[in-house]
Amino acid sequence: MDDGELDTLFARARQETPGDAGAAERFLAWRREGQAAERVPAPAPRSRTARWPALLAVAAVLTGALVLRPAPPLPPSAAYDAYEGTLGEGW
Protein backbone atom coordinates (compact mmCIF):
# COMPACT_ATOMS: atom_id res chain seq x y z
CA MET A 1 0.00 0.00 0.00
CA ASP A 2 1.50 3.32 -1.03
CA ASP A 3 0.89 6.78 0.41
CA GLY A 4 -1.87 7.66 -2.04
CA GLU A 5 -3.89 4.57 -1.17
CA LEU A 6 -3.46 5.25 2.53
CA ASP A 7 -4.61 8.84 2.11
CA THR A 8 -7.71 7.65 0.24
CA LEU A 9 -8.43 5.02 2.90
CA PHE A 10 -8.14 7.56 5.73
CA ALA A 11 -10.32 10.08 3.87
CA ARG A 12 -13.07 7.46 3.45
CA ALA A 13 -12.79 6.50 7.12
CA ARG A 14 -13.31 10.11 8.17
CA GLN A 15 -16.53 10.51 6.16
CA GLU A 16 -19.64 9.95 8.24
CA THR A 17 -22.28 7.64 6.83
CA PRO A 18 -25.93 7.24 7.84
CA GLY A 19 -24.99 3.93 9.49
CA ASP A 20 -22.43 5.76 11.64
CA ALA A 21 -25.01 8.30 12.76
CA GLY A 22 -27.49 5.53 13.64
CA ALA A 23 -24.87 3.59 15.57
CA ALA A 24 -23.89 6.70 17.46
CA GLU A 25 -27.51 7.41 18.39
CA ARG A 26 -28.05 3.82 19.57
CA PHE A 27 -24.87 3.93 21.66
CA LEU A 28 -25.74 7.27 23.23
CA ALA A 29 -29.28 6.11 24.06
CA TRP A 30 -27.92 2.91 25.63
CA ARG A 31 -25.33 4.88 27.60
CA ARG A 32 -27.90 7.36 28.92
CA GLU A 33 -30.15 4.51 30.07
CA GLY A 34 -27.24 2.84 31.84
CA GLN A 35 -26.21 6.04 33.55
CA ALA A 36 -29.76 6.74 34.70
CA ALA A 37 -30.05 3.21 36.15
CA GLU A 38 -26.65 3.39 37.84
CA ARG A 39 -27.20 6.82 39.28
CA VAL A 40 -27.01 6.54 43.04
CA PRO A 41 -28.14 9.35 45.28
CA ALA A 42 -25.28 11.37 46.65
CA PRO A 43 -24.30 10.41 50.17
CA ALA A 44 -25.34 12.76 52.90
CA PRO A 45 -22.52 15.09 53.84
CA ARG A 46 -20.80 13.77 56.91
CA SER A 47 -19.27 15.93 59.51
CA ARG A 48 -15.59 16.18 58.90
CA THR A 49 -13.94 15.61 62.20
CA ALA A 50 -10.42 16.83 62.32
CA ARG A 51 -8.26 13.77 62.72
CA TRP A 52 -4.96 15.50 62.01
CA PRO A 53 -4.56 17.05 65.47
CA ALA A 54 -5.05 13.66 67.13
CA LEU A 55 -2.60 11.99 64.76
CA LEU A 56 -0.03 14.71 65.33
CA ALA A 57 -0.43 14.40 69.08
CA VAL A 58 0.13 10.65 68.93
CA ALA A 59 3.18 11.16 66.72
CA ALA A 60 4.59 13.73 69.15
CA VAL A 61 4.11 11.42 72.13
CA LEU A 62 5.75 8.50 70.35
CA THR A 63 8.64 10.66 69.19
CA GLY A 64 9.14 12.03 72.68
CA ALA A 65 9.06 8.54 74.16
CA LEU A 66 11.62 7.26 71.68
CA VAL A 67 13.96 10.25 71.67
CA LEU A 68 13.91 11.29 75.31
CA ARG A 69 14.46 7.87 76.82
CA PRO A 70 17.84 7.41 78.46
CA ALA A 71 20.57 6.05 76.27
CA PRO A 72 21.51 2.48 77.03
CA PRO A 73 24.88 2.01 78.69
CA LEU A 74 27.69 1.42 76.27
CA PRO A 75 29.13 -2.04 76.27
CA PRO A 76 32.70 -2.24 77.44
CA SER A 77 35.07 -2.61 74.58
CA ALA A 78 38.76 -2.65 73.90
CA ALA A 79 38.62 0.78 72.25
CA TYR A 80 36.87 2.31 75.26
CA ASP A 81 39.44 0.78 77.58
CA ALA A 82 42.25 2.13 75.39
CA TYR A 83 40.87 5.68 75.46
CA GLU A 84 40.31 5.55 79.19
CA GLY A 85 43.78 4.18 79.78
CA THR A 86 45.44 6.81 77.58
CA LEU A 87 43.41 9.92 78.33
CA GLY A 88 42.34 9.13 81.86
CA GLU A 89 38.90 8.75 83.31
CA GLY A 90 36.20 11.06 81.87
CA TRP A 91 38.02 11.82 78.63
Query: Is the Cβ–Cβ distance between 74 and 80 less than 8 Å?
Result: yes
- The vertex-52 CA angle with 47 and 57, nearest 5°, equals 130
Q: What whole-number distance in Å separates Cα of residue 37 and Cα of residue 31?
A: 10
Q: How many CB atoms lie within 10 A of CB 26?
A: 10
Most confident listed range (14-18, 33-37, 58-62, 86-90)? 58-62
Per-residue model confidence as pLDDT tens digits over 19-74 = 888 888 899 999 888 887 777 777 777 777 778 888 899 999 988 888 877 777 76
Q: What whole-number distance in Å separates Cα of residue 32 and Cα of residue 27?
A: 9
What is the predicted pLDDT for the residue at 2? 86
